């Protein structure tokens, strides 16, 4: 199985890293069979599979529940699990405790935490305890209310500088990779060059060492609006609606179930049933 050493080597060999989110057994299984390099059980599951309008309601138990299903579906793929809103950064003690339960109960290979300077202490402590950490900077959806909306980050000189410094500090603290979300391509490129650990971009241009997309966005599965940075590769909404309409019509018109989907019984046995 690939490990973070493999990903570091992929970076130095300029081989792109493909990360995909997965939230359950089938999405994990498909991702592993397709051959993605790593899986992220993102707290985006709150939005794309649980129907919340942000990632804020997602709990540690949600992440464990979905994380376990993903591990069953993709036992041979390096799997990163998000620590959800306020399960970290409240105190180091609760961070360690929550990380421990998620890591132990799911068998994840790494955990991901949103934030820059404010998470350095946690990254150091978790790494020291044996939990590899992927950091996540730029647009950090858990702090959407503080940021004042989902928008591109690092557009000013000051913000761009801060992101570069944070990325370096996170690497120094022991992070094994950094997700860069919604930052200008040139800035992502500078950060990628400054680091020895891989950058995984989402809305961060093609210079990152890898890319990540949300499963349901890529497949257009249950989501209505796509962000600018998403390229849809299929239209599951359309296919599923068409299939279900067809099923409804077949049942109403008695085309389904037909003989091929029906069990039969020997006539002799049947006679005996009527006494
Ligand atoms: O929750 C998630 O899916 C993520 C990715 C978009 C990076 O954090
Ligand atoms: Na996330």
Domain count, the chain: 2
Q: What is the pLDDT of residue 275?
A: 62
- Domain check: are 225 and 263 in the same one? no
Tokens read off for 27: 């999405």
Per-residue pLDDT band for 274 (boundaries 50, 70, 90) equals confident
- Domain check: are 104 and 212 in the same one? yes
Whether residue 271 is predicted with pLDDT greater than 90 in this model: the reply is no
Tokens read off for 41: 């059980």
Per-residue pLDDT band for 51 (boundaries 50, 70, 90) equals very high
pLDDT in tens, 137-185: 999 999 999 999 999 999 999 999 999 999 999 999 999 999 999 999 9
Whether residue 211 is predicted with pLDDT greater than 80 in this model: the reply is yes
Per-residue pLDDT band for 5 (boundaries 50, 70, 90) equals very high
- Domain check: are 49 and 73 in the same one? yes
Whether residue 74 is predicted with pLDDT greater than 80 in this model: the reply is yes
- Domain check: are 151 and 25 in the same one? yes
- Domain check: are 182 and 251 in the same one? no
Tokens read off for 37: 């390099």
- Domain check: are 142 and 22 in the same one? yes
Q: What is the pLDDT of residue 107?
A: 98
- Domain check: are 250 and 137 in the same one? no
Question: What is the helix, strand, coil percentage profile of the chain, to 5?
Answer: 45, 15, 40
Query: Which letter does DSSP use for residue 219 in this model?
Result: T
Contact predicate 160/154, CB 8 Å = yes
82 assigned to a ligand binding site:
yes
**Mean pLDDT of the residues in the chain:** 97
Q: Mark whether 181 is an active-site residue.
A: yes
- Domain check: are 175 and 145 in the same one? yes
From the CA of 21, give the closest atom in ligand 1. 3
Contact predicate 99/83, CB 8 Å = yes
Contact predicate 78/35, CB 8 Å = no
Q: What is the pLDDT of residue 161?
A: 98
Going from the Cα of 44 to the center of ligand 2, the distance in angstroms, rounded, reads 5
Question: Which residues span the domain enclosing 266?
Answer: 239-273
Q: Which of 28, 62, 179 to mutate for ligand 1's pocket (most ligand atoms within 8 Å of CB)?
A: 179
Q: Is 197 in the pocket of ligand 1 (CB under 6 A)?
A: no
We report the CATH number of the domain holding residue 214 as 3.20.20.60
Neighbours of ion ligand 2 (CB under 5 A): 42-43, 82
Facing residues of 274 across strands? none
- Domain check: are 33 and 154 in the same one? yes
- Domain check: are 8 and 125 in the same one? yes
- Domain check: are 111 and 203 in the same one? yes
- Domain check: are 134 and 229 in the same one? yes
């Amino acid at each position: 199985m690939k490990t973070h050493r493999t990903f570091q080597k992929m970076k130095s060999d300029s081989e792109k890293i493909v990360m995909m989110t997965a939230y359950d057994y089938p999405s994990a299984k498909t991702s592993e069979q397709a051959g993605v390099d790593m899986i992220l059980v993102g707290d985006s599951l709150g939005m794309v599979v649980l129907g919340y309008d942000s990632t804020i309601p997602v709990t540690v138990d949600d992440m464990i529940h979905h994380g376990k299903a993903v591990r069953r579906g993709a036992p041979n793929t390096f799997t990163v699990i998000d620590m959800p809103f306020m399960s970290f950064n409240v105190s180091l003690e609760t961070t360690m405790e929550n990380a421990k339960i998620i890591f132990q109960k799911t068998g994840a290979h790494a955990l991901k935490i949103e934030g820059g300077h404010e998470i350095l202490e946690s990254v150091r402590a978790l790494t020291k305890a044996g939990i590899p950490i992927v950091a996540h900077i730029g647009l950090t959806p858990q702090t959407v209310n503080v940021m004042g909306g989902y928008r591109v980050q690092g557009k000013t000189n000051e913000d761009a500088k801060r992101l570069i410094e944070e990325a370096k500090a996170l690497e120094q603290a022991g992070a094994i990779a950094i997700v860069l979300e919604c930052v200008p391509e040139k800035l992502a490129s500078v950060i990628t060059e400054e680091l020895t650990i891989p950058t995984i971009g989402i809305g961060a241009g093609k210079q990152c060492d890898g890319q990540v997309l949300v499963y349901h966005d890529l497949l257009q599965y249950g989501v209505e609006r796509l962000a600018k940075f998403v390229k849809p590769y299929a239209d599951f909404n359309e296919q599923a609606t068409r299939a279900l309409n067809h099923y409804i019509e077949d049942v109403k018109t008695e085309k389904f179930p037909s003989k091929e989907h029906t069990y039969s019984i020997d006539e002799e046995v049947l006679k005996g049933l009527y006494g």
